[in-house]
Structure 1
């Protein structure tokens, strides 16, 4: 059973949802695979105009399910192997959304923790509930952010703030995420606002929207593949101890 749901509406806007609400949408290895596969499928949808990414239930996502990962050490090891794209399975689950030619809008609420935060950062725009609980939590678990989050975090906030959020693993609310530049706006109903925003974008000439996204990506990117390799090396050293609870 897939825990990633995807539909495309009549306006050619895709709605992608993390659908494991009983576990606060904590990410499993299978969900990582499905996230990347869903993004690749959407690249082939004719006329696609935008994507809205959200989470079912009480949260956008509570990060990686380390308990599930600990039960499949061989699967974790395979997931660390980088592909010809320069990303491994953890990184591709997020970075595949950055590769989409159309804008991706994340609507987040509840928990926005760890890997789920990195997934939200992979979107082009983020709308957050004011009371959403954000946290770059990996260091608190004895790990480092390794799902492309280091690359995007420093792009959005600058190095000083990226260091503070990463090294302290402090929790902050959605209103603070907006102030820090991690989200574009706060809304009591982020999903409805994200859908309205996607409708506005979908109303523009699609060739212009795609060209504008491509231009922004190409001029602001800072060499992500080297960052990804550094992420993998750091995490491989830390993961065995984290999975043993140390």
Structure 2
């Protein structure tokens, strides 16, 4: 799927997905979420790392707020239209929206969010959908859904609680306050910081380090560690055994065993 506000570039094992609507600070819409889900699900097997970034002066300012107006966004289903369908239609709609975020955790490549400027609401949740986050010193994160009388519903709540803990996640979401890049690093929300001018280089260094790992091990590691978040001990130990068995068999097979 192509989208006018999504730019996709591939260089060997690295794919860069750029939100490309800088005049609106990369505001997001349902059609963009569908395109993101399709992109995550159709990654070629030889793509090992995906970098998600935003064009212009922000990662993403979140949902296009015109979605909440009577006129909506041309070509997009407005919030009013979604709600008019009743509870079941709302549930189906939100489930489809969530795919644009959750699909990145399910894809085999390691996903890195390169965040600069604002990451608000849906932008914050897209950063949370990545496996790793690198932020510029000018980055700001905020969940503003509660100020609209809503809650974050694009898959970000679980990741946020896991990264920063329940109490801090509640405070961040309930108040809608901005979290600076240095605070984000200190609470575990991002893994590394860089001056804005050096952000691309810092992300590139991380990508190089990821690509230095043998491809089969890296591909097995992502689902193994993601499953550890909520799996019980016995289940996780079994998954470790399964992953290691497959890797050892492939390794020994290469030696003619």
Rounded to whole Å, the distance in 2 between the matches of 1:210 and 1:152 is 20
Measure the CA separation in 2 of the matches of 1:76 and 1:97. Answer: 25
Whole-angstrom CA distance in 1 between matches of 2:109 and 2:53: 17
Q: Number of paired residues?
A: 217
Unaligned runs of 5+ in 2: 233-257
Tell me the equivalent position of 1:242.
none
1:6-37 deviation digits (Å, cap 9, x = unpaired): 11102x11101100100000101211111111
Structure 2 residue aligned with 1:118: 125
Give the one of 100, 105, 108 matched to 1:98: 105
Assess, with a 3 A threshold, how the Cα gap between structure 1 residues 140 and 176 changes in structure 2: closer, same or farther. Answer: same
> How far off is 1:128 after superposition?
0.6
CA drift of 1:80 comes to 4.0
C-alpha change, 1:190 and 1:179, in structure 2 (3 Å) is same
Q: TM-score, normalised by structure 2?
A: 0.79
Runs of at least 5 residues in structure 1 that lack an aligned partner in the other structure: 224-246
1:237 matched residue in structure 2: none
TM-score by length of 1: 0.82
Q: CA 1:109–1:122 in structure 2 vs 1: closer, same or farther (change >3 Å)?
A: same
1:215 to 207, 211, 224: 224
Cα distance in 2, alignment partners of residues 20 and 221 from structure 1 = 36
Instruction: Decide which structure has the larger Cα Rg and report it.
Output: 2
**In structure 2, how many angstroms separate the alpha carbons of the residues matched to 1:132 and 1:104?**
19
Give the structure 2 partner of residue 7 of structure 1. 9
Residue 238 of structure 1: aligned partner: none
Q: 1:46: how far off?
A: 2.7
Tell me: CA distance 1:75–1:16, structure 2 relative to 1, closer, same or farther (3 Å). farther
Choose which of 134, 140, 143 in structure 2 pairs with 1:133.
Answer: 140
What's the Cα RMSD here? 2.0
